Amino acid sequence: MIVVTGAAGFISSCLVSRLNQANFNNIVVVDNFSVAKKERNLQGKKIKEFVDRDGFFEWLDENYEEVEFIFHLGARTDTTEFNKDVFDLLNLNYSKKVWNACCEYQIPLVYASSAATYGAGALGYDDDEAIIPLLKPLNPYGESKNDFDIWALEQTAKPFFWAGLKFFNVYGPNEYHKEKMASVIFHTYNQIKEKGSMTLFRSHNSDFADGEQMRDFVYVKDVVDVCLFLMHHRKNSGIYNLGSGKARTFMALALNTFDAMGVTPDINFMDTPETIRDTYQYFTEANMSKLRSIGYDKPFYTLEEGVTDYVQNYLIPGRYY
């Protein structure tokens, strides 16, 4: 039996599908299932049981002997939410309870951290655990993820295997419900579909031309493949970056989306809103050597490959993964 928290969400629902593809069908999904717009993410998947987020620990106390692995990917991920209490409740304290239960019942654990922990990137993007207490995230979401990473590293009691994954800019199917927090590729596709053009943020940094701001975009199919690798690997516990390892520009992203849609590029620019201009990141790139060093050798999707697959096989036909 495998438990996936946040299972109705973007990455988690893709993970459930990937587990099904690998013939893991004894899956328990945990979430707040009252959000109607996320229901289709789990339709058609092979699931043993649905457990409400608030009743999960009571359920686990009764069923822990059957649980082989927990993927704790559930979290509040809104980077524009500034109510710290929400993040303390859902991201920090809930995660501590998951960790402690995994210690008590000897269940291996993979949990979602975030590249938001790196803040403006002043210390780079290396997943060296020694620098984690020194990181300065730019918002309460990033702070909550970094606070948990710090707490986990400080614990003397740990699950016999655990891994925290610092997700970079994940994109792909099953993010239809995320609205403003969906990937730039999702928004690019919709802008082109509606207007035939795409608007990017203008650069306010003399080191970067308009549209040349760079991010590490990682396709969700790579993310879930890494999750399966770690479920089978079960050694080398620690915190790992999970990006493509290759920064690409927003211009490249937009041009690839136009190409995948068969539309002639028409790109405009607008000023970056002043509310986020001071904290806007111009470059992120995951150092992936640590994950590679423990044996993950599968190549990651290039931006071209990922955008083409996402646009043509999911966005255009409106399919789910």
Q: Please write the tens of the pLDDT for every residue from 212-238.
A: 999 999 999 999 999 999 999 999 999
158 is catalytic: no
Q: How many CB atoms lie within 10 A of CB 209?
A: 12
| Cα dist from 152 to 117, 135, 221, 238, 294, whole Å | 14, 15, 27, 9, 20
Of 94, 118, 141, 171, which is the active-site residue? 141
Q: Is 242 annotated as a binding residue?
A: no
Q: Is 31 annotated as a binding residue?
A: yes
Of 158, 178, 246, 282, which is the active-site residue? 178
| Residue that is written with structure tokens 């035939």 in the block | 196
Do you know the residue count of the chain? 321
Q: What is the pLDDT of residue 250?
A: 96
Q: Is 221 annotated as a binding residue?
A: no
At 269 the three-state DSSP class reads strand
Q: Is 11 annotated as a binding residue?
A: yes
Q: What is the pLDDT of residue 79?
A: 61
Q: What is the pLDDT of residue 82?
A: 66
At 198 the three-state DSSP class reads strand
Q: Is 204 annotated as a binding residue?
A: yes
Q: Is 291 annotated as a binding residue?
A: no
178 is catalytic: yes
Distance CA 240, CA 126 (A): 9
The pTM assigned to this predicted structure is 0.95
Q: Residue ranges of the chain with pLDDT lower than 50?
A: none
Q: What is the pLDDT of residue 117?
A: 95
